[in-house]
Structure 1
């Protein structure tokens, strides 16, 4: 029944990777864990003869040691160009939709119902649901259509970790700005900040941690060093992403990489503080 959510100050901040590691960490602690992302946009998927979901949630399920099911990613958008996407609901192709119709006619009606139903199912059947947000929760032009971030966190009664990619620069401003632009009623859900892809001595960052906590009341829970993890990535701007053949050899390789990743995260994240959040 408990839930934890990872949101980011931007796309590619490290949400998928952190959720993957946390799924393995809490599975290792003996909990039945399920990953969840209400809405994902990707042309790379995990596909069986019965359903199709984002491959990020399939990898997170491997990390959680749970069954890969459509509920893990109830809405998948496969972009076609010219503002059109194929929309998949619960693993099945629903229809081709224009972005305008998707936002104005779908997300707050059928989309939200599909997401809530899947989330409720996972919460009833898991000790812990670890949820991945999408993009940034501070896209103020889209907040009324956002069914992947704060509204989902609120429905799940989830504690939220906000992660930022420090390699891009401006991470303290990104964390502070994101917090301030989130609707006031949701700010209380953010329980910790995380910095990702840091090179150097994290001690140099500590004065920033103190100031950030002074302004927001939220602690920094960890600094994750930049590292190379050989997990299949989502398709994104500037990256060449290869298809995955989902055979036993590939899954065993992914499992080994998840173990390495989870050890790295445990060494650099305050897991005890996160455990207290989800009790």
Structure 2
């Protein structure tokens, strides 16, 4: 009889599958079951209502802009933390994880206080006609704040493991800094960047606490999908809440599938080179 490489694998696997079923699959199954209790016509009527469609548009647009900002700023921050040594570096590195530890409601209240008309940043932007609080710009800032660590923490370990000899070889061949970044470093970072983008975008789509304080929650303008589902839940319209939530669930699955396919393609490209 062949020995198992990992002793206790069946027991550990059983506990893992049980935990996954209770914590992940059971809530998702309940959501799908409740949404399925609606007929096709009622389901379509709820998810395609003008208010629901407007909430999808606001949520996806703001999440895309916040993720794009995090991609640029998060990559730059990860690069600075990895390649440079300066006073306060460890403190800055620790502050990156602050959105993970800070309750999202606290983050929303803090952002509202900062970007309100009488806030430090809001007061400074007001003379230029820039309003942040209770606008889609405020939603983007809240999303970017809560999802930034996903980009930094997925890219940072890959940057730390990059062999410096690769960059030195590219420099010896006459490559400029921009050429080395574009043709050498970015292709190696692509799988990690895709993973970070996926996690960041998913967090933006599902964010709630940090947004509702700064968004103003105006239907058709600054109302996100998570809030609309919560409103239907407060109205004791559980099937409608489940139907709206199922749209975001489907969007999350599609996004993960596309991201995994792009990661697999990027890994094959990297290994081929």
TM-score (norm 1): 0.23
Q: Normalization by structure 2: what TM-score? A: 0.24
Largest Rg, 1 or 2: 2
- Greater helix content: 2
Which structure exhibits the higher relative contact order, with contacts defined as CA atoms closer than 8 Å and separated by 6 or more residues?
A: 2
